[in-house]
Amino acid sequence: MSAQPVNPDLPPDHVTVFIDGVEMAAPKGSMIIQAADKAGIPIPRFCYHDKLSIAANCRMCLVDTEVGGRSAPKPSPACATPVMDGLKVFTRNDKALKAQRNVMEFLLINHPLDCPICDQGGECELQDLSLGYGRSVSRFAERKRVVPDEDLGSLVATEMTRCIQCTRCVRFTAEVAGTYELGGMQRGENLQIGTYDGKPLTTELSGNVIDVCPVGALTNKVFRFRARPWELIAKESLGYHDALGSNLFLHVRRGEVLRTVPRDNEAVNECWLSDRDRYSHQGLAAEDRATKPLLKDGDTWREASWDEALARAAQILRDNAADDLGVLVHPATSNEEGALLARLAEGLGTGNLDHRIAQRDLSGDAVAAPFAMPVADIAKAGTVVIVGSNLRHELPLLHHRVRQAWTHGAKVHVINPVDFDFTFDVASKTIVPPSAIAGVLGNDAFGAAAGEGDRLVVIVGALAESGVHAAAIRDAAAAFAAAHGGALCRIPQGANAIGLSRHGVLPTSRDAQSMLADSRSAYVLYGVEPGLDFADQALALKALSGAQVVAFSQFACASTRAVADVILPIGALPEIDATLTNLEGREQRAVAGGRLAGDARPGWRVLRALGAQLELGGFDFVDLPQLRAGLAQRDVQVRAGQAPQGSDGLELATAPAIYRSDAVVRRAAALQSHPLNLGPRIVLHPEDAQAIGAAHDGMAKVSNHAGTATLQVTVSDQVARGAVFVESGYGATAALMAGNVQVVPA
């Protein structure tokens, strides 16, 4: 073979290859299958996945190769054979086809004939390829092997007899999830995939093993036996339980959302989806869905027509306009609804409008801002500093990007009140109470250690943003990033916090905390579950209970009924056309998928009708395109809030429980059964527990100015001395989300 390149005009890092007679350029070191995929030439495969390492164990991608006029003595696996200059590849000649057909015969020897009852039927890679490469009859007369199933938890169903040992799931849990929960046991014909210890999957990304499985061995337990793929209609939508805005498809049959699958977007979520986004659709069918307009007459509720309910709501707002009215908006509310709420508040003459309902310290620069670095580029960072965040639970796919950076050599430094579990090693960790986090960021020694690398990213999370020391931590993080040339990435506290900020859902008068502390005579609640969504539940319920309340809500839950006078049922994001703005400022659109519950309406329609009833300007549009055409970013001079007052006791560090973050997730039964859902508890450092006299797994009374709760105690040295960790989202812990706490054994 000549040492001269076939095509001297190619860049030095590329070579010329010929696949089925088609000449193409391919990067040096890439594999045949990658070059073929780029050219649109199909090569069958099972174990190969472009996001996972190469295993080359299914052999379905065998092809014939030729170099310098000499054919290889046996077929080569296209996924594990690197390209070389002048290489000729034949994917469809007799030699290649015979090898592929023989491999298919071996794969089907032990595979059960489950297609009529298999959930994967109709979208199964093995089923599709066996049609083209399989035989019409089997020459194998012996008994097929049977593999016992494991219980992998409430999300993933198993039929391991169908497994073809492609090991995609094993590689996913090892390389992407980072939990190493699945593996191969035994050898040869006895090889089987499992967890070894028989415990459920604990990764927050477990549903992705369903997507990577090429057969029906791993399927969606929630969706199981509910529909066939060809009965479903795919609707483009978005994840709305965190600020990433993962792209996804809702699979709908006759208006019912039956499952959720990822939609590829390399810039946002690649091809993955968190379990929270994948399974939350279960919550849409909760028993307490608001399906009819409801009015309170005395202490009783009754159903009403839309006209009557809107008339009552309009009367309340007319009677309590201007400074007497407060508007509290859930931070996952869409841009369209947010813009109309801003118009409603402006028309009623009130500046008491806020979406930052879960944040305690609204002083300083407390407005959400886009990441200073694209999400995809975080995977290329050289140094990552995580400040005040249980990142793995707060934003699972951002945690995955940090893991990607770590696998490429990045150093990760952590400042937290709790030593949370990550799926990457950390170069340094500083576990201190929340009040000390800002001081650590300003410490020269920490700056010298963490600020020395290139491509620095500082990620500030919910533990920092939602606590009583948020302003100091924000300022310190911004100063640290600026001093070391880093990108400041403050995680927005809500799926659409940035979009709502851009569309004016911010206070020009009283913020969320001050309009509750100095209670108004009336409130509008939009998408809020008042018993669990506020930073200071006791303060909120006290203010709302003494006022007239118009609640736009997806759920007519007990806490909403306790405070509201009118409940107007609105659709959740999977049921409406909407746009959300994600954490990097990317505006993304979702289309209506599921059927609205009962007489519920899209929120923008209800707001349009209410605005028209009140004869306000800006509500004369007739459809959604006309509304969107009139949307524009609003510059609001936000009035800074007051810093919270300090109090005695142990410092409270709070973060949302992974599957208790919002009303829809809290009603998804499968997620509530997940092992990551630990239930209400208080976590103490051993020295603090000893000083108090509290025992591990015992009970303790936890109290502050807001209220008292009796909680189970977990003693762990993962918590900073002088702090306690409590997860929010539970009714039992709702009273404790504000201020320091006193703890005594129960």
Q: What is the mean pLDDT of residues 7-29?
A: 88
Classify 460 as helix, strand or coil: strand
Q: Please state which of the ranges 136-145, 276-285, 310-319, 633-642 shows the lowest mean pLDDT.
A: 633-642
> What's the confidence (pLDDT) of residue 317?
97
Both structure tokens of 402: 């940090």
pLDDT at residue 340 is higher than 90: yes
Note the pLDDT tens digit of each residue in 401-429. Answer: 999 999 999 999 999 999 999 999 999 99
pLDDT in tens, 221-255: 999 999 999 999 999 999 999 999 999 999 999 99
Instruction: Compute the distance between CA of residue 518 and CA of residue 511 in angstroms, rounded to an integer.
Output: 11
pLDDT of residue 452: 75
How many whole angstroms separate alpha carbon 108 and alpha carbon 130? 9
Token digits of residue 718: 């993962």
Q: Quick one: CATH architecture of 147-285?
A: 2-Layer Sandwich (3.30)
Q: What is the DSSP letter of 58?
A: S
Pairing of strands 681-684, 707-715: parallel
What predicted TM-score, i.e. pTM, was given to this entire model?
Answer: 0.94
At 32-85, the pLDDT tens digits run: 999 999 999 999 999 999 999 999 999 999 999 999 889 999 999 999 999 999
Q: Lay out the sheet containing 723-728: strands in order across.
A: 651-656, 723-728, 681-684, 707-715, 699-704, 742-745
Task: Tell the residue number behind the tokens 């506020």, with chain if given.
Answer: 534
CATH says 14-107 is which class?
alpha beta
Measured CA to CA, the distance from residue 352 to residue 323 in angstroms comes to 7
- As beta bridge partners, residue 587 has 581
CATH 3.30.43.10 for the 294-361+497-570+602-629 domain, yes or no:
no
> What is residue 648's predicted lDDT score, i.e. its pLDDT?
79
What local confidence, expressed as pLDDT, does residue 415 receive?
Answer: 97
DSSP line for 348-384: TT---EES-TT-S--SSS-S----SS-HHHHTT-SEE
pLDDT cut 70: percent of the chain above it: 99
Q: Are 480 and 447 in contact (CB under 8 A)?
A: yes
Instruction: Give the pLDDT confidence score for residue 228 in this predicted structure.
Output: 94
Q: What confidence category does residue 1 fall into, taking pLDDT thresholds of 50, 70 and 90?
A: very low
Helix axes 125-133 and 94-109, enclosed angle (nearest 10):
130
* pLDDT score of 350 more than 80: yes
Burial 499-512 (b: 16+ CB within 10 A, else e): bbbbbbbbbbbbbb
**pLDDT by residue (tens digit) across 145-155?**
999 998 999 99
Q: Which residues pair with 700 in a beta bridge?
A: 711, 745
Collapsing DSSP states into helix, strand and coil, what is residue 518? coil
Out of 278-287, 491-500, 577-586, 692-701, which region has the weakest mean confidence (pLDDT)?
692-701
651-745 CATH, one of 1.10.20.10, 2.40.40.20, 3.90.850.10, 3.40.50.620: 2.40.40.20
- For the chain, give the mean pLDDT: 93
CATH code for the domain defined by 375-490:
3.40.228.10
DSSP-assigned beta bridge partners for residue 580:
588
The whole-number pLDDT of residue 451 equals 75
Q: Are 551 and 566 in contact (CB under 8 A)?
A: yes
Where exactly are the structural domains of the chain? 14-107, 147-285, 294-361+497-570+602-629, 375-490, 651-745
Q: What is the pLDDT of residue 646?
A: 66
Distance (Å, whole) CA 567 – CA 406: 48
| Tokens 């999957």, located at residue | 201
Tell me which amino acid residue 239 is: G
In this structure, what token pair is assigned to residue 88? Answer: 């000729």
- Amino acid letter, residue 286: A
**239, 199 Cβ separation under 8 angstroms:** no
* CA gap 512, 499 in Å, rounded: 17
- 5 pLDDT higher than 90: no
Which of 679, 691, 678, 695 has its CA nearest to residue 742? 691
Asked if residue 236 lies in contact with residue 590, where contact means CB atoms within 8 angstroms, the answer is yes
Is the pLDDT confidence value at 504 over 50? yes
Q: Evaluate if residue 587 carries a pLDDT over 90.
A: yes
**pLDDT tens, 629-660?**
988 888 877 877 777 776 778 999 998 999 99
Strand order across the 428-431 sheet: 428-431, 411-416, 383-387, 456-460, 487-490
Q: Tokens 């702090």 — which residue?
A: 723
pLDDT band at 613 (very low <50, low <70, confident <90, very high): very high
Sign of CA dihedral 652, 643, 479, 380: positive
Alpha-carbon distance of 491 to 681, in angstroms, equals 25
In the chain, % of residues over pLDDT 90: 85
Written as one letter, the residue type at 622 is: V
**d(Cα 446, Cα 431) in Å, to the nearest integer?**
13
Over residues 516-558, the pLDDT tens digits come to: 999 999 999 999 999 999 998 889 999 999 999 999 999 999 9
Return the beta strands (E) in 498-585 as ranges. Answer: 522-526, 548-553, 566-569, 578-581
Residue 738 has what pLDDT? 66
Average pLDDT over residues 732-746: 82
Higher pLDDT, 444 or 272: 272
Dmax over CA atoms of the chain, in Å, equals 93
Distance CA(746)–CA(726), nearest Å, equals: 17
Quickly state the pLDDT bin for 296 (edges 50, 70, 90).
very high
Using CA atoms, how far apart are residues 597 and 65, in angstroms rounded to an integer? 59
Residue 737 pLDDT greater than 80, yes or no: no
Name the band, by pLDDT with cuts 50, 70 and 90, for residue 141: confident
The pLDDT assigned to 736 comes to 78
609: left (phi over 0), alpha (psi -120 to 50) or beta: alpha
Residues 6+ apart with CB under 8 A from 346: 618
Partnered with residue 53 across adjacent β-strands are none
* Bridge partner list, 70: 67
Residue-level pLDDT at 644: 76
pLDDT band at 735 (very low <50, low <70, confident <90, very high): confident
Query: What are the C-alpha distances in Å from 387 to residues 286, 365, 638, 713?
Result: 36, 17, 25, 25
Q: What is the tens place of the pLDDT at every residue in 180-193? A: 999 999 888 889 99
The answer to whether 594 touches 256, Cβ cutoff 8 Å, is: yes
Tokens for 105, please give them.
Answer: 């015969």
What pLDDT is stored for residue 156 in this prediction? 97
